[in-house]
Structure 1
Amino acid sequence: MIAIACDHGGYELKQEIISYLNAKEIGYEDYGCYSKASVDYPYYAKEVGQAITQGKCEKGILICGTGIGISIAANKIPDIRAALCTDCFSAEATRLHNNANVLALGGRVTGPGLAIKIVETFLGTDFSGEERHLKRIQMLD
């Protein structure tokens, strides 16, 4: 199950990603926001982070205007490793090496076609489980 949320700057891209998830029959829980009305991104980062840390969802997708603010907010939550990705290589590497559990995207800087490919890569890549990467992840705690 994927937890997904955005602020007003990511609303349109979130709709595109939800369409993709529906088409691929990937389960998700939408934690908002539900319009282009101005909202505060830290609230939505917390909702997705808690869904993951409480075991309701396995991974998350967060979207704000640039992806920067919402990723900073998500990374304040213990056990959340949010990665802002602007390309598929980064999305693959952060899953392989960092076991990132939240993908952050910028709705105003990443077009929907690329964003869908990044989501597909992020969701389709497993953590390598290599000892060196496990050690580094443990050092983050």
Structure 2
Amino acid sequence: MKVALGADHGGYHLKNNIKDFIIKLGHEVIDVGCDCSDSVDYPDYAIPVCEKVLNGDADKGILICGTGIGMSIAANKYPGIRCALVHDTFSAKATREHNDTNVLAMGERVIGPGLAIDIVKIWIETEFSNEERHVNRINKMNTIEKEATIHP
């Protein structure tokens, strides 16, 4: 599996821990940065991760910032991206089984590296259930993406 990985300055250290862990699991990592703790803008790293997932260069994406909130908001602007902000193992499993998420967001200032690694392992290894009720819900979200318009 190929995993695109991106972080801003607030997630830089956790990104490096997760990168090493994903490689130890035997997966390939596409690291889009950032590579420093200097202030940068999270959308600049959410964009290439989402594009790599959407164009098939990566199977999944992981985004990390200080809280995970900004990254998840930026990622979910892309039609076809289902990004979940996760800070516990139950949600990591549920968001894959029920929502077929293709991008995971986490906050370095919210969780430590041990929990983050547990979340990543569960999220990567959990398959979508393909249960009819979950497929129907995802199809409804896809319809919203296609039909949503701005109302004055």
Q: Fold match, TM over 0.5?
A: yes
Tell me, which stretches of 5 or more residues in structure 2 are unaligned? Answer: 143-152
Distance in structure 2 (CA, Å) of the matches to 1:136 and 1:42:
27
Distance in structure 1 (CA, Å) of the matches to 2:47 and 2:78:
7
Structure 2 match to 1:14: 15
Structure 2 match to 1:78: 79
SS in 2 for 1:35: coil
Using the aligned pairs only, state the percent identity.
Answer: 54
Distance in structure 2 (CA, Å) of the matches to 1:24 and 1:57:
16
Tell me, which stretches of 5 or more residues in structure 1 are unaligned? Answer: none
Structure 1 match to 2:88: 87
Amino acid at match of 1:31: V
Structure 1 match to 2:102: 101
Aligned length: 141
Give the Å deviation of 1:87.
0.5
Give the Å deviation of 1:106.
0.2
Distance in structure 1 (CA, Å) of the matches to 2:132 and 2:23:
35
Structure 1 match to 2:140: 139
User: Which is greater in Rg?
Assistant: 2
- Spell out structure 1 runs of 4+ moving beyond 2 A: none
CA RMSD of aligned residues (A): 0.7
Distance in structure 2 (CA, Å) of the matches to 1:133 and 1:28:
29
> What is the TM-score of this pair, normalised by structure 1?
0.98
Distance in structure 1 (CA, Å) of the matches to 2:136 and 2:23:
36
